[in-house]
Structure 1
């Protein structure tokens, strides 16, 4: 049972009255409850969504008050409405703008390359976002590209600066989200910028192709989806799918690419290496030039060698593992999501605002979880939080949907014995079991 400040004050007044009357006040379990620290919960882009509450079912109230960060630009209502027009049941918008921009940037790069050869498309992707004629709508950008004009695309998520030489955003916008009444309380959402505009690439891409007639022989451009229909990250699928679908719709409404409508081949990454590898192989056989995905950073790491060996481009809207910045990719990997080196700073700031004394960072054991965990630890240390005040825990996520649910009982016991008053949970849908275990172990979660 949680003890509020108000109820505790009332209890002290009542106890004082009893003492004046010569009676004794109890010092058993009630005293223990007042000295046990209450724990504030924090989350990240993998679980700060409305769909996450559904993972806790009848215990969704456990996350009321949970705060966290996610890469998110303030989205215009008109854009949200257009997303819902292609995906009517959309409840979250996480990475929808990044998915939209990944599709549009790919289309523009292909038009400027004058070819659907993946290597030629890759050479244009960074340049599409830097040092050209500024444009924001697919129809206007495609018109400029067809005339052979260098362009500087500024879309929904990519609106401050372009890509770095590594093919990722130089800057990012993060939202601080808060759960209330079993869903994200939009009234408490705050936005903060991160990154450095001067990090954007200044290299010139190859000379743009000028289309003088109808369709080009290598058309149409074929995009293969590698998004999490299923698996631990399936809660992020609807906004990713909606963003990609809207991007395809806008590009084709604007006349397509190289005189032909863009073709979309759907595909599941399963948040599972085996499923993702099978999907990539299928896309390669079916002639996909660019693969949009994967959803999770660890899955992209797994399939990237296959994609590179096949000479295709991998373009993710949602990978945030900072290690992917320097991954060996032969210039064929790109992302519209910012690296976690930026999110780590935003998360540390959110946690430190509440003045915690002991912090536990729980992460799923993969490149995303452990990478972001280390970024947060480093930022906390930079802010003066000593190693004696931070504890790092990891867990093995279930291999697939048929595996037993995550058992975090031992970890929850360790959190309680440590006396943490702040717990950051870095994970996907499976991380709901971490919160269940904390509550079941007697950790007092502050709402």
Structure 2
């Protein structure tokens, strides 16, 4: 997929400056006082760290993130939806991927109702079709009614608003929020801009699969059973609450609308730990307990590690937040889907923001996994295509871990900060999760940043 008009749209957003103290070490002729002269350096982030909960990791420096900008797949959410999600979890501070989690649960329920069975492979055959039919329905109740009556329909929910799935089961288009941190290291909602990306024409077209007959035998069908494989611990734990809350809201509203195949749907909660081993253990428990649809995992690398076992067991897996481009062509036996858009769309939006802010020398700090490496490389390619010389781009990676110790892991980021100080970048992109706070602290220590 290609971004349809992200460049033109994001380009309309005004640059927001952040004056950061950096050491000007690029010239041997500089005096020590000149080397400490503040320069106009800006921080940028991605969906893994552009959240209020990320700012909490830097609460000892309440103004350090002021002006930091970044992107996240983010559909404008109605106040009604936010109210309903808060009804599940009143303590939410963010709604990142809440819409995607809600829609992941809903499309699986609609697919099961359309297939007339909870058998995962049969359910999977209907998943794309329930987002690409002819007649729009926008609520759980309306779409379930259409599925039950055998009508051709397309679900347009919270995140799946502009178009449905592609032939590989991922959004053909998406909305991104261009976010900015304000005072107290929190997102300034007044400065949030929404931009569209992707191409609705890549939505899978053609006749929807014929409705299922429910398989062999009659009588009451078994209940559709979900497993929530989302982060409660690890580097993405701060992103888990809105996804859990939205998924449970969808379960509640599906059951209020009569359930699926005449039965209330069931749900199990589990932790993916932002860690492949933790996620595999949780997925194994779900498989043993007869879960039909797994919602998750949260991170791309964790999803990639779990997909082989889940698909071997013949289960459906839908991630609301795994965005790595690598997953588009990953071997999944037609059982893996995602409601989050691939990173190639986000990369274009990020690159355009950086270019519109006038940078000519950019450093990228990225975690070394499928998410970090993939997104960093896509941004690098887009920045080069936009006119930045390869010699004016510096990509530095660090070891991807499920948890980071502020004391022992400072050595991961100190050398990176030192290299960036020498490189003398005017813009720094952080592609990571909550550990990005450690990278920022290393930049402060190295006097790359005030």
Query: Structure 1: which 5+ residue stretches go unaligned?
Result: 6-26
Tell me by how many angstroms 1:84 deviates: 0.4
**For 1:383-394, what aligned pairs fall within 5 Å after superposition?**
383-394=386-397
What is the match of residue 432 of structure 2?
A: 427
What is the match of residue 11 of structure 2?
A: none
1:129/1:163 contact within 8 Å kept: yes
Alignment deviations for residues 120-174 of structure 1 (CA, whole Å, 9 cap, x no partner): 0100000000023210000000011111112100001000111000000000101
In structure 2, the CA distance between the partners of 1:359 and 1:64, relative to structure 1 (3 Å rule), is: same
SS of equivalent to 2:181: strand
Quote the Cα distance in structure 1 between the aligned partners of 2:301 and 2:315. 19
Tell me by how many angstroms 1:382 deviates: 1.3
Residue-pair matches, total = 419
Alignment deviations for residues 155-210 of structure 1 (CA, whole Å, 9 cap, x no partner): 01000111000000000101110001110000110111000010000143321248
What is the match of residue 119 of structure 1?
A: 121
Quote the Cα distance in structure 2 between the aligned partners of 1:222 and 1:203. 30
SS of equivalent to 1:281: helix
In structure 2, the CA distance between the partners of 1:132 and 1:429, relative to structure 1 (3 Å rule), is: same
Runs of 4+ in 1 over 6 A off after TM superposition: none
The answer as to 2:83 corresponding to 1:70 is no
The answer as to 2:135 corresponding to 1:133 is yes
Q: If the length of structure 2 is used for normalisation, what is the TM-score?
A: 0.90
The answer as to 2:321 corresponding to 1:318 is yes
Quote the Cα distance in structure 2 between the aligned partners of 1:345 and 1:178. 18
Match of 1:411 among 412, 416, 419: 416
Tell me by how many angstroms 1:216 deviates: 5.6
**For 1:22-421, what aligned pairs fall within 5 Å after superposition?**
29-34=32-37, 37-181=39-183, 182-209=185-212, 217-400=220-403, 404-407=408-411, 408-421=413-426
Quote the Cα distance in structure 1 between the aligned partners of 2:397 and 2:261. 48
**For 1:429-444, what aligned pairs fall within 5 Å after superposition?**
429-444=434-449
In structure 2, the CA distance between the partners of 1:318 and 1:4, relative to structure 1 (3 Å rule), is: closer
Tell me by how many angstroms 1:31 deviates: 3.5
Alignment deviations for residues 69-109 of structure 1 (CA, whole Å, 9 cap, x no partner): 00001111111111101110011000000000000000000
1:68/1:347 contact within 8 Å kept: yes
SS of equivalent to 1:201: coil
Query: Structure 2: which 5+ residue stretches go unaligned?
Result: 1-17, 21-29
In structure 2, the CA distance between the partners of 1:307 and 1:210, relative to structure 1 (3 Å rule), is: closer
What is the match of residue 16 of structure 1?
A: none
What is the match of residue 27 of structure 2?
A: none
Alignment deviations for residues 301-338 of structure 1 (CA, whole Å, 9 cap, x no partner): 00100001111011000010011000000100000000
Tell me by how many angstroms 1:28 deviates: 5.5
Deviates more, 1:43-52 or 1:141-150: 141-150
Task: Report the RMSD for the aligned CA atoms in angstroms.
Answer: 1.9
2:108/2:127 contact within 8 Å kept: yes
What is the match of residue 13 of structure 2?
A: none
In structure 2, the CA distance between the partners of 1:4 and 1:170, relative to structure 1 (3 Å rule), is: closer
1:148/1:209 contact within 8 Å kept: no
Deviates more, 1:392-401 or 1:111-120: 392-401
Quote the Cα distance in structure 2 between the aligned partners of 1:210 and 1:220. 16
Q: If the length of structure 1 is used for normalisation, what is the TM-score?
A: 0.90
2:47/2:72 contact within 8 Å kept: yes
Deviates more, 1:404-413 or 1:191-200: 404-413
In structure 2, the CA distance between the partners of 1:260 and 1:156, relative to structure 1 (3 Å rule), is: same
Highest CA radius of gyration, 1 or 2?
1
Quote the Cα distance in structure 1 between the aligned partners of 2:219 and 2:142. 20
2:323/2:340 contact within 8 Å kept: yes
Quote the Cα distance in structure 2 between the aligned partners of 1:218 and 1:430. 46
Quote the Cα distance in structure 1 between the aligned partners of 2:366 and 2:441. 15
In structure 2, the CA distance between the partners of 1:95 and 1:331, relative to structure 1 (3 Å rule), is: same
Quote the Cα distance in structure 1 between the aligned partners of 2:432 and 2:239. 12
SS of equivalent to 2:67: coil
Alignment deviations for residues 341-382 of structure 1 (CA, whole Å, 9 cap, x no partner): 100000001111111121001100000000000110111111
